[in-house]
Structure formats: C-alpha cells, structure tokens
Structure 1
C-alpha cells in the first residue's frame, strides 16, 4: 500500500492512496512518530471522506521526523567523480525537519548561494524503534520507502570539512510523494535518476549501493535510537552538477525531476528567493 500526509479544507490528515484519490485514516494527522507500523496497519479507513489527489496539498511524507540521517558517497559512480577513496564506513550527516518541503512545493534558491545542486535518493522510513539491531533484523524496522531530492548548496557545503551548512537549509529538500510499504516495493535494484532541462543527468539503481539498507539501519542504530518516522536518505548516484564539466546548477524557472522506480517521482519548480 501507499500512504500520504496531506492537507485539505484546513486539516492535515493521513490517507491511503487509492488510484487518483486519498482515503483518510481515522485519527491520524501525519505520518511519523505517532504512526509506527502496527498503528498504521490497524487504522480505520473513512471511504466516505475520500478526496481527489488534485484537490489536496501533499505535505512531506513525514513532516516532522525526529531524525533525518543522510548518507554521502554511497554509489561507486559518485565516489569516483569526487576523487575520494572508497569509504569503509558510511559517510553520515544530518538534516532537520525544517529542511523538508512537499512534493509539489517550489525549491527556493537562496540569495546567499550560487551553487544549488540536485541529488536523487531513495529514502527509508523507519516504522519500529531500532537500537543495536542486526543486519538480519534491520528490515523488520522499516515502515516503507519514499523519494527525496537532497538539494545541496555546494559553495556552503565546502566552506568546512563538515557538510551541515550546505545540506540543511530551511525548506530545501523535497520529500514524497508517497510512502510505499515494503510489500509493495522492490528496492533490490530500483532505478534512480534525475532529469533537468530535457537531459538525464543521473542514472543508476539501488543494487549499486555500497552500503545496503540493512547495513545502514544496523550501523546507524548502533549509535542512536531510530524512532518511527525517522528518515534515512541512502545516497545519490554519480552525475551531480558540481562534478560535471562544465558545472551545472539549478536556476530560476527550472523544473527538476527525480525518481525511484516503483517508489515515486518528484517534480519541483525552482524559483529565486524574493
């Protein structure tokens, strides 16, 4: 099944995706900490209150996660284009809930940055509390999957050896459009790509992850408790704008598309901050 967090008629709700409409779930206002896997599975549907998708605003799938943990350098092609050594341990950094925007929201180019880049990523949504879980048990803690565009301000990212200031800008990271449950998702070799200005800029699949999803969940849960609704952005393939020759960055008026086969597709407009 697939689910969305959405706003309609002044209310925020969770709905099951049913074709071109959303069927709300009783008592649920957003996917996240209060919707672990057992709660979501047991929720009562309200078919009489179903609403068409084109009548709602889709929110970030999980609007207020406790943690957003991102993985850098997790595809060989991306490691190669950066000229770095193959990592032996996942390269991790964080974002904040304030970084997220919905799947139909604009990506706003801040006046301070002149190197705004794209990164298509499969995203894991945690469904059960996980601490020191083994790789063998890791997938039991996954609620589902969604798509993120890890928008990065490269000129800020490389101001220091830490990446935070380039990765965690407010309202910079589209997430969605839906949460796809594991039973509906095959992420063993799902295609991941980016399209901009009529050109395919990134193309790979998740079989090429250096650290697979069980490894990431297990590794991260070793040092911090993963909670329902927490997000793990699993990394991006090669082809990012900063590493192209000539370099390519997002510009006012662009439409950027990132997609993961079987999980979803994000299409966002880019506009300069007024």
Structure 2
C-alpha cells in the first residue's frame, strides 16, 4: 500500500544519492512535494529528474546542514516555493572512519557537526512551522553502528546521539501533534558502503557477500528497504507511534 502524502511538503537532507535519494523519490511518489537537500545543489539533478519523470514535484537546495544560517535559508526557500513543511527527514551524513588513536579532532568534529548539529539545526527551524500548524512528522536516520562498530567511534557516538535526541523531541513535541521517530539501517548497498569497502581494502562484492552471510535474511539491504520504513513513519498510518527507533537490518 502506498502512503498518501498529497498536500504535504517534505524536506529530505542528503538526498543526492543512496538512501536519501530513494526516500525523496518514495515520498514524491506518494504525492508529497519534495525539497531535496544536499551540500551541493548540482548533485541533486538526478534526484529531481527522477521525481519529475515520475510525475512528482521537487526542488533542489544546496545547504550545509551544520550551518544554522544555511538551514534557515533552505527551510525558508522550501516554504516560499512549495508552500509549507510537514515532513522532515534527517538523512544527511558523512563518515570519517578510523581507529581512535588515528582519528583526528577534525574527523570527530565533522561527523558530529553533520549528523548531530545538522539534525538539531533542521529540527529547530522546521518545528517553528510544525508547532504552529499542529502537525509534523520528523524521521531521523540513526544506524546499527549506534551499538558500536570498530573504526567508527565518531559515527557510532553521533548515531547513538540521534536516538536520544529523537526520544527527547518526541516528549517535547507530542502535544503539538508532531511525531518524531528514528530508523537505524544495517548494511545497505549504497555509495557510502562501497567507500567503506575501499577503505578496509576489500572488493565491494566480497564485502557485500560477507555482510549478506552474517544476516539472517541472507541478503544486504537496498535503499528502498529504508525508504519504505521512513514513508511509514512520515505517514498518518503511524499516528500513534513516536519516540521510537526501528532497526532495519535483516535481523542482524
């Protein structure tokens, strides 16, 4: 069953590729007008084109989510051009993997800035509109890595932080009819997992096979597996669900 997002405006960060791109397309197929957001506006051409070809409506916005002034401008542009903001998906993320003794302060700070400050910035700005209209759906992307992953002290800490942030916002925003949930993907086949394989010096197909064999369902995830769950949280079908983190990882 496709969810009905007609009349809704969605703001999706990290929408140029991988999971974010799939989320943007999925929400648009349900009838949402989508603000596709990523660091560089021109990187979003493929996302916007895919949405337009499917008969949907989208605009591309270049924005560094770690910078509050850029987030304020991006949300303002969304409201001005698409007429509002009802759904916020915080998917923007970077990895700067290394073992702790090799991890630089910049590696730590950049990952925290994009994942955690980014989510803080977008939520703070978007909820001004959501509280006023007494309606909003916020979906934050956490990760299986929140439970710990070698070489990812920064990323794991940030993704665990997202879980606490999500729970707290659910408590604060419930009275305004705003649902706040998180999705924690496991191994999903994306450009980011390909770069991880390259970093550890493993062929990406071998990397994928190893991940699949460690998964009870016997396969790795695809971006659509995450987009479908995000769409559920963004829909009115999940109206009584808030403050949750759902792990989507094939049972690992």
More helix by share: 2
TM-score when normalising by structure 1: 0.27
Whose relative contact order is higher, 1 or 2, with alpha carbons under 8 Å and at least 6 apart?
1
